[in-house]
Amino acid sequence: MLMNFRNVMHFRHHENRILLAFLSLSLLLHLCIIFLLPDLQLIPQVEDNKPVYVEVRTPTRSRELDLPETKDQSRTEPAKRLGPADQAVKKEQAPQGDFIEDRIPATPLQPQPAPTEQPTPAETGKGKQVPIPDLAQLMTLPQTTVQRLDDQLRTKYRAEVEEGESVWLDTEKDFLISFYQRLRSGIYRVWNYPAKSKDRGEAGTCLIRMTFNRDGTVKDVELLETSGYPRLDREAVAAVYKGEPYGKLPDAYKKEELSILAFFRYTMGYRPEITP
């Protein structure tokens, strides 16, 4: 009896030790989970500060102009004629008007007399040349008229150019282009619009023949057509002399002298200009 009691007590003591070991192990495991995995969350939490957007859409309304689709009703019988048969009148006639103007027949238009031909200047006086106006009047004329008068002056001096005694500026000789450029640059450097002429409203165009030696020096400057104002003419002639040196003539030009024709234009509100 005593032995059985001791055996029972020994068995219970052994079970208590096992239970105590399991409790200690369970406590240690829970402590590890608490301290080693503090951020582990089995259930994710929803942030309260994050806004939630909800889109509300209103149902589309049908438009009043939208008509329901109708089925295509094909015609099985032709449409009935409104009249029993086609009718045609023998003669169409409008009712007589109430106003007197409607009753009076319109008078036929009278033929216009043929225009009489005006005699041309060649018929009135053969051999007569059209007088060329003074170049001082060119500033008051249209541009087309100015161009026509320039052509007349070129025709006037055509014989001199054809004989090779003179050339127009920027024309005739391609190997003279460099000399033309030096000539323009030198004249523009010293050529000015006279102040007194500006104050008095003087403007015009003069035609000048410039003759140069082989070395490019100025031999002669001749006023062929006046601008109508001596002050403008003198300023243009003086600019040719003051613009030296222009450099020697190119070797391709075989003559000892070169004569150039050019227009010197004065226009109010603009700088003086040289044109061929």
Tell me whether residue 152 is in a domain. Answer: yes
Task: Provide mean pLDDT across the span 203-219.
Answer: 94
Confidence of residue 222 (pLDDT cuts 50, 70, 90): very high
Is residue 224 domain-resident? Answer: yes
Q: What is the pLDDT of residue 33?
A: 78
Is 42 among the domain residues?
no
The pTM assigned to this predicted structure is: 0.46
Q: Is the pLDDT of residue 16 over 80?
A: no
Average of per-residue pLDDT across 184-210: 95
Examine residue 83 and state whether it is found in any structural domain, yes or no.
no
Domain that holds residue 233: 141-275
Which one is predicted more confidently, 91 or 173?
A: 173
Output the domain CATH number for residue 231: 3.30.1150.10
pLDDT tens column, 39-76: 555 555 656 677 777 888 877 766 666 666 666 666 66
Mean confidence (pLDDT) of the chain: 75
259: confidence class by pLDDT, cuts 50, 70, 90: very high
Q: Does residue 121 sit within a domain? A: no
Instruction: Provide the domain count of the chain.
Output: 1
Please state, in angstroms and rounded to a whole number, the distance separating the CA atoms of residues 158 and 163: 9
According to the 3-state scheme, what is the secondary structure of the chain?
A: CHHHHHHHHHHHHHHHHHHHHHHHHHHHHHHHHHHHCCCCCCCCCCCCCCCCCCCCCCCCCCCCCCCCCCCCCCCCCCCCCCCCCCCCCCCCCCCCCCCHHHHCCCCCCCCCCCCCCCCCHHHHCCCCCCCCCCHHHHHHCCHHHHHHHHHHHHHHCHHHHHCCCCEECCCCCHHHHHHHHHHHHHHHHHCCCCHHHHHHCCCEEEEEEEEECCCCCEEEEEEEECCCCHHHHHHHHHHHHHCCCCCCCCCCCCCCCEEEEEEEEECCCCCCEEEC
Each residue's pLDDT tens digit, 229-238: 999 999 999 9
**pLDDT reading at 18 higher than 50:** yes
Higher-confidence residue of 73 and 100: namely 73
94 belongs to a structural domain: no
Higher per-residue confidence, 78 vs 217: 217
Let me know if residue 154 belongs to a domain: yes
User: Does residue 1 sit within a domain?
Assistant: no
**What pLDDT does 96 receive?**
55
